[in-house]
Structure 1
Amino acid sequence: MNAMTETGQKGFAAQIVSAIAWRSGSQMIAQLIMWAATFFVIRILDPKDYGLFAMTQSVLVFLSLLNGQEFTGALVRAPELTKTLIRQVFGVLLLMNGGIAVAQVLLAPLAAEYFHTPIVAQLLVVQAALYLATPFVSLPSSLLSRELNYKVQAKVNLGSALAGAATSLGCALAGFGVWTLVAAPMAAIWTRAIGMTIAARVLVLPSFRLKGSGAIFAFGGAMLLSSLLWLIQTQSDVIIGGRSLDAHNLGLYAEALFLAQIVTSKFVPPLNDVAFSAYARMQADRETTGRAFEKSVRLIMFGALPFYAGLALVAWPFVDVVLGPKWDEAAPIVRLLAVAMPFLTMQVLFAPATTALGHPRLQVWSAGAGAAIMPLSFLIGVEWGPVGMAWSWVIGAPLHLAITMALGVRVIGTSARGIGRAVLPAVLATGGMVVVVMAAEPMAAHMASLPALALLVTLGMASYGAMVLLVARPIIGEFVGLIKARRGVAI
């Protein structure tokens, strides 16, 4: 390997770590801002408000599938980027988002009738304006991601988080009820659309002539199909539960799922954004991509596994302290969902790798498996209420992960054994933490919620740190390596 190649590798490693630092760091700060507002608002609003909002989200998320986001991935993977290609993608985004905005307005009365709740129609009509901002977020984001430039995006995302949080707090205090949950994301996405367009300095005229764009539609079409199947998997719980459960119980389940999916839905996607761009840049070297994938699994599970195990252990005091006594019924749901989420976290790491390496069909097959497994599980589980819905995740998520691994490991350049070795340090350290916290639970049971939570969390963090030093010390070196790479030193 010549010096020039080594220098290039060092620079690329530093660029990736810098991208992760900006993307994940800004996401973490933005989430802290939003959570501060969210948990305050949760204590003001009723579970019924969240149940109503969840009903609208089942429609909103389904139509959002058609917002054209998948087509922007073609801009990231394109060997050569032209102005014509950018204009064509922008035209597709405008057409698709304008169309689904109109479709949502027309479908709103039908959705209200399905859920037997008239206000659902009003909520959906207003939320149709969200789609109109999407083209002005997606296009500049994809162009910046192609260059692994997440610094600009980070600043805009923080601004939009502040706008959303301020709107959420203001509306909740003003007594807007469920409309608070509509206004906050509206303020956030429009702030992000304006800020991203200005910051990225990309505002082109759209082109509706699609000649020569076959590659875009081939890639985007495969991703669209996988997104549709993924949507069936992730939204079937609300669609099934929304017709069988009342708004109160659906609200309990929806907020329990929100808590349990904090890592998977809030912190993993930013990492996957960077991973997709990075895998696309090194797609010709399967050995390198395999090692990179194993390392990403190891480091992500190093944080995710103890979080979910800890959440399962402290579910009751956590819910009581963070959400308030009126949400105590959600605690057993949170505990079960926390058990299932490590499997989902690992499963979603495969998508950016297989698609960036030119195999979107594998993601389609994986999403298809989830679209078959999870709705069937929910149809059975809903008979036992929201707790039964949580059990559906416990049973379905590991099975879905097994199928995804079987499809993807060879393409990525790794193996089930390699992934097992990557996860083992986190499993051992987390196991030690679980034993310590469970031993302290009888003592915490006689305490009030806040001191019990403080005791269990403190013991959990201390025991996990001790176990890492005992059985997983090399991971500390990997994190040190990442910090050095951030400064331009090879990892």
Structure 2
Amino acid sequence: MDHESKSGESKGGESMPPHAAHASAHKSAPGIAAAIAPAQQTFAARVRSAIAWRWGTQVGAQIITWTSTFLVVRLLEPSDYGLFAMSQVIITALAFLNGQSFATSLVQTDRLDERRIGQVFGMLLLANGLLAAVQFAFAPFAAVYFGEPMVAEMLRIQAVLFLTIPFIALPNEWLARQLEFRKPGQVNMASALVGAATALVLAWLGWGVWALVYAGLSIFIARAIGLTVAARLFVRPVFDPRGAWDLVSFGGTLTLCQLFWIIQSQSDVVIAGRIMPTHDLGLYTQALFLTLIVTARFIPPVNEVALAAYSELHRENRPLAPYFLKTARLVMMVSAPVYIGLSLTSEHAILVLMGEKWTGLIPIVSGLALVMPAFALQLICSPVTNAMGRPHIYLFTSISGAVLFPAMFAWGLLAGRGGGAMGLVHAWWIAAPVLCAITLAVTLRAVSLSPLRLAQTIAPVAVACAAMSSAVLAAKALVPITSPLAALITHVAIGAATYAATFWLLYRGIVRETWALVRERGDGLPQAA
């Protein structure tokens, strides 16, 4: 999955003044030069538009995906999701080498012309062609490791995913540089529809785990075609690396970060895959899917826009601390109540959305949701330090996560109380807050912010969540409701109303500022210089 956007100032190589870069691009490709030229809109308007399209279309795409998922899970078995998770571990383990980080370097570099874009395209083609071949050849060994012969067949088919990456990464990052998120958003929604339809039809026809395999493949193919057409960025691949050292060194650093993220995010399945039954592993991976809804689906779009915006602000020598605080507060205002609410209502939510056979998810989802606000806060830190040209900070926190999470997962499964899926949950309770503290310590220092200032910024969210939790728990104790659907609707309504009322009564200024930002009034975002 996409974890977070990764970019920053170029490292190594000579820098070229912006006007020189524009001139160079103009000589080689007038269309590219036009895109590189400064936008006429104010910076604030461009960022608002980018956030609206990137986040709005992400919400739309996820509504489509969730609807499909909640229908498909009624047709498939937990063991199908366990098998699928095994194949995903291998794909994700290889994906850190797919060259996405080299494409991301196009977002902030001042040296941009048709040849350099072609060099990135060449890197993407070479890297992903090799990865497809490696996965195809390695498939039997993965099947032996997990003790599931079907994993080999799945991996051979899924090798095609890598062949689509160059035609997704290059146009996507090219459009992101221009803060153009409308076209990618439309493509993402269309590809989500394609994937949802594929999954539903194949699951209905009894294809089992193959419904998940071909649904994912259809999404990637649809995105590759759609983004290539939307960006209209048709360049020849260049396989001569001369003059691209800054792209290679920057992309290499972020590739290392991605490697350590892979270790952190996939170590639970790698360790549990040899210990836990396939059924139990399927329960855990589905619970993690549900609880990563915000962090894995909605924060990456915010990070993509934040990276481009922070980079532009940094090039103009503006302080980034005020904007980081606004981002942190906005993300916590959305993610914290969602996760606390999910933990409070997990029993009824699982019964309503997924049915009786998934009741094993309830304690896992409830436990994971409690710690996800800390995970969400940690994830939004890397764009600001990368934009400052300090990707080594992101590298340090990535290494920290790659050491901390596997150690805690091993403890939770082998030595922790209870073991099994709940052992993994207990590992999350330790690892996520500790990694958040480490990440904040180095990030706040880099942007010249004190921990107290950040705490003051997000304190209203904590107060509102506490009030929401008290109201829902009181309602459960005082008025028991037997119908899961009625209980879910009632408790969600009480929680949402309490959360909104707390903000309106105690923090009305924050509400007005946020509303002004959405309505394109006020000073929530910086105006053009």
TM-score by length of 1: 0.96
Distance of aligned partners of 1:413 and 1:367 in 2 relative to their CA distance in 1, 3 Å threshold: same
| 1:430 matched to 2:465 | yes
The correspondence of residues 97-108 of structure 1 with structure 2, limited to 5 A, is 97-108=128-139
CA RMSD of aligned residues (A): 1.7
Query: Partner letter of residue 516 of structure 2?
Result: G
Residue 323 of structure 1: how far off its partner (Å): 1.2
State whether structure 2 residue 154 is matched by structure 1 residue 123: yes
Instruction: Identify the structure with the greater helix proportion.
Output: 1
- For the pair 1:312 / 2:343, whether they are aligned, the reply is yes
Cα gap change, 1:457 to 1:490, in 2 (>3 Å): closer
Cα distance in 2, alignment partners of residues 479 and 21 from structure 1: 13
Q: Is the 8 A contact 1:18 1:486 kept in 2?
A: no
Q: CA separation in 1, counterparts of 2:160 and 2:521?
A: 39
Deviation at 1:365, TM superposition (A): 0.3
Task: Write the mapping of 1:177-192 to structure 2, written as runs, cut at 5 A.
Answer: 177-192=208-223
Q: Which residue of 1 aligns with 2:499?
A: 464
How far apart, in 2, do the equivalents of 1:486 and 1:234 lie?
A: 39
Q: Distance in 1 between matches of 2:525 and 2:402?
A: 41
Cα separation, 1, equivalents of 2:231 and 2:46: 19
Shift of 1:189: 1.0
- For 1:237-248, what aligned pairs fall within 5 Å after superposition? 237-248=268-279
Q: What per-residue deviation string (whole Å, max 9, x for no partner) do you get for residues 294-323 of structure 1?
A: 000001100111110000101111111111
How far has the Cα of 1:43 moved from its partner? 1.1
CA contact (8 A) 1:10 1:485 kept: no
Partner residue in 2 for 1:288: 319
Q: Following the alignment from structure 1 to structure 2, what is the Cα–Cα distance between the partners of residues 490 and 222?
A: 30
> Distance in 1 between the 2:453 and 2:123 partners?
41
Partners of 1:433 and 1:464 within 8 A in 2? yes
Give the 3 Å change call, closer, same or farther, for CA 444–59 of structure 1 in structure 2.
farther
Q: Distance in 1 between matches of 2:315 and 2:126?
A: 34
Distance 2:176 2:522 in 1: 20
1:286/1:473 CA distance change after superposition, 3 Å: farther
Displacement of 1:288 in angstroms is 3.1
**2:36: which partner in 1?**
none
Q: Which runs of 5+ in 2 are unaligned?
A: 1-38
**AA partner of residue 257 (structure 1):** L
Structure 1 runs, 4 residues or longer, greater than 4 Å off? 284-287, 443-446, 486-491
What is the CA–CA distance in structure 2 between the aligned matches of 1:227 and 1:380, rounded to whole Å? 24
**Equivalent runs, 1:51-90 vs 2, <5 Å:** 51-90=82-121
Cα deviation code 1:47-73 (max 9, x no counterpart): 000000001111010111111001112
Structure 1 residue aligned with 2:66:
35
Q: What CA distance in whole angstroms lies between the structure 1 residues aligned with 2:53 and 2:314?
A: 23
Pairs within 5 Å for 1:115-194: 115-194=146-225
Taking a change above 3 Å as real, the CA distance of residues 490 and 283 of structure 1, as seen in their structure-2 partners, is closer
Q: Which stretch has the larger CA shift, 441-450 or 316-325?
A: 441-450
How far apart in 2 are the matches of 1:382 and 1:195? 43
Q: Which residue of 2 aligns with 1:451?
A: 486
- 2:175 & 2:447 partners in 1: Cα distance? 25
Counterpart-to-counterpart distance in 1, 2:464 and 2:432: 22
Output the TM-score relative to the length of structure 2: 0.89
Cα distance, 1:364–1:174 mapped onto 2, change above 3 Å: same
**CA positional deviation for 1:486:** 7.5
Alignment equivalent of 2:365, drawn from 307, 310, 334 = 334
Deviations 1:166-191 (A, max 9, x none): 11111111111000111111111111
| Alignment match of 2:439 (pick from 388, 391, 404) | 404
Contact 1:286 1:412 in 2 (8 A): no
| Equivalent-residue separation in structure 2 for 1:353 and 1:217 (angstroms) | 21
Tell me the distance in 2 between the aligned counterparts of 1:479 and 1:444.
Answer: 35
Q: Tell me which amino acid in the other structure corresponds to 2:477.
A: P
1:361 to 387, 392, 406: 392
1:44 is paired with a residue whose SS is: coil
Q: Give, in whole Å, the separation in 2 of the partners of 1:439 and 1:246.
A: 38
For structure 1, the 5+ residue unaligned runs are 1-7
Task: Output one character per residue of 1:413-442: Cα deviation in whole Å (capped at 9) or x when no partner.
Answer: 322122112211111111100000011123
Q: Does 1:481 pair with 2:516?
A: yes
| Number of residue-to-residue matches in the alignment | 484
Secondary structure in 2 aligned to 1:205? coil
Quick check: 1:413 aligned with 2:445?
no
CA apart distance, 1:444: 5.8
Deviation at 1:284, TM superposition (A): 4.3
Amino acid at match of 2:320: T
- AA aligned opposite 1:288: P
Question: Which residue of structure 2 lines up, in the alignment, with residue 4 of structure 1?
Answer: none
Structure 1 residue 80 displacement after superposition: 2.8
Q: Tell whether the 8 Å contact from 1:55 to 1:238 is kept in structure 2 after alignment.
A: yes
The separation in 2 between residues aligned to 1:372 and 1:445, in whole angstroms, is: 44
